[in-house]
Copies of this chain bind each other. A is one copy, B any other.
Amino acid sequence: MHVEAMGGNTHQFRLSTNHMQGSAMTNTPMSVVHKRVFLFAAAYDFFCGESTSLSSAARASMRDALGGKGAGLAEMTASGVSVPPGLTITTSVCREYYDNDKTLPAGLFDEVLNELRAVEASVGRRLGDVANPLLLSVRSGAKFSMPGMMDTILNLGLNDQTVEGLSSLMGERFALDSYRRFIQMFSNVVLDISKDSFEHLLDDAKTRAGASTDAELGAPELRALIAAYKDLVLAQTGSAFPQDTHGQLQGAVEAVFRSWNNDRAIYYRNLNGIDHAIGTAVTVQAMVFGNLNEQSGTGVCFTRNPSTGEPYLYGEYLLNAQGEDVVAGIRTPKLIFRLKNEMPAVYDELLRTTARLEAHYRDVQDVEFTIESGKLYILQTRTGKRTANAAVRIAVDLANEGVISRETALTRIEPEQLNQLLLPSFTGEALAAAKMMGRHVATGLAASPGAAIGRIIFDPNEAAALGAAGEKVILVRIETCPDDIHGIVPAQGIVTARGGMTSHAAVVARGMGKPCVSGCEELKIDLHNELMRVGQHVFHKNDVISIDGSNGEIYAGAIPTTSIKLSSQFHTLLSWADDVRELGIRTNADTPEDAALARKFGAEGVGLCRTEHMFMSQDRLPVVQQMILATNEAERRVALAELLPLQREDFAGIFRAMEGLPVTIRLLDPPLHEFLPKADKLKEEIAELRTQGGADDAIAAKEALLRKVDELHESNPMMGLRGCRLGLLYPEINEMQVQAIFEAAIAVTNEGIVVQPEIMIPLVGVVAELQIAREVLERVAFDVMTSAGTTIDYKFGTMIEVPRAALTADEIAEHAEFFSFGTNDLTQMTFGYSRDDAEGRFLQHYLEGVNVNGAKRKVLMRNPFEVLDQGGVGKLMKIAVEGGRTTRPDLKIGICGEHGGEPSSIAFARKIGLNYVSCSPYRVPVARLAAAQASIASGQEGDK
């Protein structure tokens, strides 16, 4: 393939990677690059040496020498793309400049001028030519991107003469305004005169002219302003504004080198760990003009539709215009396909060029172009931003087209993006309109993603009743507790004024895939009067609001949402992920509905079925309370007998939904007081009953409840009587659960469905806890199976969620057929951070930074409840995996904490050899992709 390139030369188009295998390391290494100035059109060849493409070492050399920007322009030019010509001064010159007490090396500027001739020839204009002046941009470009940290100068080459030449080419106002801007920029960057002085003069000019924007200043005003600018320069520097265009160029190059060591650049390098010694390159490029005539124009296009991923050129353009005209929105741009009619040859070249760029960079490109007198120039190309939907389609399409491998396709999507596809979101237009109309109310924490609309309801009972009646409600609470679960289930979304990302509301909502905004402290909620205040606004019960749990925003009124449709590419991509990944993906599901949903999303089993949620439903809670209030085992067994058939149906439903797949059931875990009302609430109710002359036995019942609540009160319930501790003190509770599990398993097996129950004992810290519990419960299992005359294939295992369990995993594995890391509790105890308290208190400060002598210093980079702490909690997990597998080499190990759905935590799980992760149903696709990416990344690191 031959393409015409800048400078009149003909270049072989080169693919940078296809030919790499087998090519010898013949490229010029950095250390022997003595050339100091490279034309864009010459650099690539130079670094290729005798090879026909760049080895990765040669690519690195080129980047070292030319910086990121220079290397990119060289590569694009070499690819046959029409780029405005230019040259790059290497980073070694910058180092010499500093070594040499901030003077340019001898002979350097002659080299620049020498190479500049080729640029001038290519564009057909010359620097300082009064009739046909070449204008230049002078930019920095280090090996590592330091956006905005160093200086840039545009329109270089203008002076009192050339501005008149430009004026006759481009129009007077454009030329004068460019000159005015150039003086201001050059004076600031090169001559070190404050911007403010120029801004004052500009403001004065506008005031005099009665103009409100710069654009309203006409040519006469601009001429006067230029004169004033020049007077300012003379007054400040004692010299006139430099009219010598070569001098301008030299000054600009030196200024860019100087800007390598300005304060913000140094700060940025410190922040990002960039070596201060590497220096910057300087790129000098011809400026081209889309507003030169009607054969000129400018535009932006994507190689594929960035919203849908459909494979066609998508974009807009304007003829006889500059990029800023498009941005300013003064003229309405045309859709790109119209260019085919207006400038067919240019359109064809644009199609070819953009296709080449996409093929070269192997991804959708976002391309800025300018047409100057019928000639197409590509100003910039970069990877195109896209929606989650488009990202999936593009990745799959590119792989199917053979442009990228399936593995690469899998790495092209942020796992989190998949989650978006499963959740409703507000339509862009409606959202913009709502914002414009001032309907944004408040911002809380983005606790559980997705958009929801509904009437405000403060009372969970009312929410339950309305939800049952098919009404859409948003449950608004100061904070939620397990008591409120019946109001959460039917609500469209949840809002709380208190509580962090791992508060009860947040955790429950994420588990259900239900939108939630938590910890929105701006809301002043008055439960008594059923209203909430935000600033001046008051919202009453039944007022409609819309919430977006993806960003924590709350809006007044309804905002329409998009509907969810999963593309075929979505399923294709995830099937590729399944081919690659080694980790199993299970789900945390407490109901048959959740289990079925997760299975639809690809879950390979239930990793955590929390039985306590089954105890919370309104019809069961009174029986559970009766069980708790029992004063002896016999009474307790009466209540448990009532719960048995209900639990049996719970488990049977989940077994049916997960037919053939393993189901891990955790026995009762929370402290019993969670099933009882709060003491304060009971006290109020008792007082009310008393004043209203309530029945004695009703009062007595409440008082008994209150005594039990007081009795069960713990200072630190998270470290109190819960988990297996409860089961050891009241074994009959777990016995009932195991009986229900096995009776359900037998019933479902009899329906011809394969079941694989895995019974999990929570909160074990001492091996005897597991040993004793297992002994008692396996006896129950045995009895149930014996009396049914059948056997069920089951496993007994434990959560590893107490640090001591991880430390003594070798002992615990003697009695556990599987481990499941409860990383929520493990994080809590390893850090000593109460989940219920830390987020609202110190954790936010730790993440945002604590005040140290007026500055903010971060204590934690990531919230360990969201992103697994590999350095601390992860170490314990490694100890547990090693210990457990020492005793039992085939020990099955998974994660069932919140981290099971978080990509970096999933990668860590793979790294330490876990068998699976388990996450909420809506995160299953995320986990599948993340697990695949982890496998791919480890293969690249060679640790596979």
Alpha-carbon distance between A857 and B860 when the two chains are bound, in angstroms: 44
A716 within 8 A of B: yes
Alpha-carbon distance between A832 and B725 when the two chains are bound, in angstroms: 11
Interface string of A203-229 (1 = CB under 8 A from B): 000000000000000000000000000
A431 within 8 A of B: no
Chain B residues contacting A828 (CB-CB under 8 Å) are: 719
Chain B residues contacting A846 (CB-CB under 8 Å) are: 725, 728, 766
CB-CB nearest in chain B for A802: B832
Beyond A852-B772, A859-B766, is A873–B804 a contact (Cβ under 8 Å)?
A: yes
A842 within 8 A of B: yes
Beyond A768-B858, A852-B775, is A832–B838 a contact (Cβ under 8 Å)?
A: no
Find out whether the CB atom of B860 lies under 8 angstroms from the CB atom of A719.
Answer: no
Chain B residues contacting A714 (CB-CB under 8 Å) are: 834, 836-837, 841
A794 within 8 A of B: no
Chain B residues contacting A837 (CB-CB under 8 Å) are: 714-717, 719-721
Chain B residues contacting A721 (CB-CB under 8 Å) are: 837, 841-842
Find out whether the CB atom of B832 lies under 8 angstroms from the CB atom of A729.
Answer: no
Chain B residues contacting A769 (CB-CB under 8 Å) are: 859
Find out whether the CB atom of A729 lies under 8 angstroms from the CB atom of B845.
Answer: yes
CB-CB nearest in chain B for A843: B725
A853 within 8 A of B: yes
Alpha-carbon distance between A725 and B804 when the two chains are bound, in angstroms: 24
Alpha-carbon distance between A871 and B767 when the two chains are bound, in angstroms: 11
Which single member of B807, B834, B845, B873 contacts A719 (CB below 8 Å)? B834
Find out whether the CB atom of A860 lies under 8 angstroms from the CB atom of B804.
Answer: no
Interface string of A835-857 (1 = CB under 8 A from B): 01110011001100011110001
Find out whether the CB atom of B772 lies under 8 angstroms from the CB atom of A832.
Answer: no
Which single member of B776, B852, B860, B871 contacts A808 (CB below 8 Å)? B871
Find out whether the CB atom of A719 lies under 8 angstroms from the CB atom of B876.
Answer: no
Chain A, range 769-822, C-beta contacts under 8 Å to B? 769, 772, 775-776, 801-804, 807-808, 811
Alpha-carbon distance between A845 and B872 when the two chains are bound, in angstroms: 32
Find out whether the CB atom of A850 lies under 8 angstroms from the CB atom of B729.
Answer: yes
CB-CB nearest in chain B for A841: B721
Alpha-carbon distance between A299 and B684 when the two chains are bound, in angstroms: 74
Beyond A725-B842, A728-B845, A728-B850, is A765–B872 a contact (Cβ under 8 Å)?
A: yes
Interface string of A349-379 (1 = CB under 8 A from B): 0000000000000000000000000000000
Q: How many copies does the complex hold?
A: 2
Beyond A804-B831, A829-B829, A851-B731, is A838–B719 a contact (Cβ under 8 Å)?
A: yes
Chain B residues contacting A808 (CB-CB under 8 Å) are: 871-872, 875
A188 within 8 A of B: no
Find out whether the CB atom of A728 lies under 8 angstroms from the CB atom of B842.
Answer: yes
A898 within 8 A of B: no
Find out whether the CB atom of B776 lies under 8 angstroms from the CB atom of A832.
Answer: no
Find out whether the CB atom of A776 lies under 8 angstroms from the CB atom of B718.
Answer: no
Alpha-carbon distance between A833 and B722 when the two chains are bound, in angstroms: 10
Beyond A715-B834, A765-B831, A833-B719, is A807–B729 a contact (Cβ under 8 Å)?
A: no
A763 within 8 A of B: yes
Task: Give the most central of A715, A803, A851, A853: most B CB within 10 Å.
Answer: A803
Alpha-carbon distance between A850 and B718 when the two chains are bound, in angstroms: 21
Q: A670 to nearest B CB, angstroms?
A: 12
CB-CB nearest in chain B for A714: B837
A743 within 8 A of B: no
A830 within 8 A of B: yes
Q: A504 to nearest B CB, angstroms?
A: 10
Find out whether the CB atom of B804 lies under 8 angstroms from the CB atom of A716.
Answer: no
Find out whether the CB atom of B829 lies under 8 angstroms from the CB atom of A832.
Answer: yes
Alpha-carbon distance between A831 and B826 when the two chains are bound, in angstroms: 11
Chain B residues contacting A873 (CB-CB under 8 Å) are: 804
CB-CB nearest in chain B for A836: B715
Find out whether the CB atom of A768 lies under 8 angstroms from the CB atom of B857.
Answer: yes
CB-CB nearest in chain B for A726: B842
A869 within 8 A of B: yes
Q: A730 to nearest B CB, angstroms?
A: 10
Alpha-carbon distance between A768 and B828 when the two chains are bound, in angstroms: 18
Chain B residues contacting A858 (CB-CB under 8 Å) are: 768
Alpha-carbon distance between A776 and B765 when the two chains are bound, in angstroms: 38
Find out whether the CB atom of A807 lies under 8 angstroms from the CB atom of B768.
Answer: no
Chain A, range 725-780, C-beta contacts under 8 Å to B? 725, 728-729, 731, 763, 765-766, 768-769, 772, 775-776
A825 within 8 A of B: yes
Chain B residues contacting A728 (CB-CB under 8 Å) are: 842, 845-846, 850, 859
Chain B residues contacting A832 (CB-CB under 8 Å) are: 718-719, 763, 765, 801-804, 825, 829
Chain B residues contacting A766 (CB-CB under 8 Å) are: 831, 846, 859-860
Alpha-carbon distance between A698 and B716 when the two chains are bound, in angstroms: 32
Q: A898 to nearest B CB, angstroms?
A: 17
Chain A, range 683-740, C-beta contacts under 8 Å to B? 714-721, 725, 728-729, 731
Chain B residues contacting A830 (CB-CB under 8 Å) are: 765, 802-804, 807, 829
Alpha-carbon distance between A725 and B860 when the two chains are bound, in angstroms: 12
Alpha-carbon distance between A728 and B837 when the two chains are bound, in angstroms: 16
Q: A668 to nearest B CB, angstroms?
A: 14
Chain B residues contacting A776 (CB-CB under 8 Å) are: 852-853
Alpha-carbon distance between A717 and B721 when the two chains are bound, in angstroms: 16
Chain B residues contacting A729 (CB-CB under 8 Å) are: 842, 845, 850
Alpha-carbon distance between A838 and B715 when the two chains are bound, in angstroms: 10
CB-CB nearest in chain B for A845: B729
Chain B residues contacting A851 (CB-CB under 8 Å) are: 731
Interface string of A873-912 (1 = CB under 8 A from B): 1011000000000000000000000000000000000000
Beyond A717-B837, A837-B714, is A831–B857 a contact (Cβ under 8 Å)?
A: no
Alpha-carbon distance between A539 and B857 when the two chains are bound, in angstroms: 58
Chain B residues contacting A838 (CB-CB under 8 Å) are: 719-720
Find out whether the CB atom of A772 lies under 8 angstroms from the CB atom of B829.
Answer: no
CB-CB nearest in chain B for A727: B850
Alpha-carbon distance between A431 and B851 when the two chains are bound, in angstroms: 62
CB-CB nearest in chain B for A850: B728
Alpha-carbon distance between A873 and B805 when the two chains are bound, in angstroms: 11
Q: A430 to nearest B CB, angstroms?
A: 39
Find out whether the CB atom of A869 lies under 8 angstroms from the CB atom of B804.
Answer: yes
Q: A620 to nearest B CB, angstroms?
A: 24
Alpha-carbon distance between A768 and B876 when the two chains are bound, in angstroms: 20
Alpha-carbon distance between A808 and B841 when the two chains are bound, in angstroms: 24
Chain B residues contacting A825 (CB-CB under 8 Å) are: 832
Alpha-carbon distance between A762 and B808 when the two chains are bound, in angstroms: 26
CB-CB nearest in chain B for A720: B837
Alpha-carbon distance between A834 and B834 when the two chains are bound, in angstroms: 12
Chain B residues contacting A811 (CB-CB under 8 Å) are: 871
Q: A628 to nearest B CB, angstroms?
A: 14
Chain A, range 301-332, C-beta contacts under 8 Å to B? none
Chain B residues contacting A829 (CB-CB under 8 Å) are: 719, 803, 829-830, 832
Chain B residues contacting A804 (CB-CB under 8 Å) are: 830-832, 869, 872-873
Alpha-carbon distance between A717 and B720 when the two chains are bound, in angstroms: 13
Alpha-carbon distance between A19 and B731 when the two chains are bound, in angstroms: 60
Task: Give the most central of A801, A807, A832: most B CB within 10 Å.
Answer: A832
Known: A715-B836, A718-B719. 11 other contacts (CB 8 A): A716-B834, A721-B841, A725-B841, A766-B859, A766-B860, A768-B857, A768-B860, A772-B852, A802-B830, A803-B829, A804-B872
Top 3 nearest A-B pairs by Cβ distance?
A716-B834, A719-B834, A804-B872
16 contacts between A and B (CB under 8 A): A714-B836, A716-B719, A719-B719, A720-B837, A720-B838, A721-B837, A721-B841, A725-B841, A725-B842, A729-B842, A729-B850, A763-B832, A766-B860, A772-B859, A803-B832, A807-B872
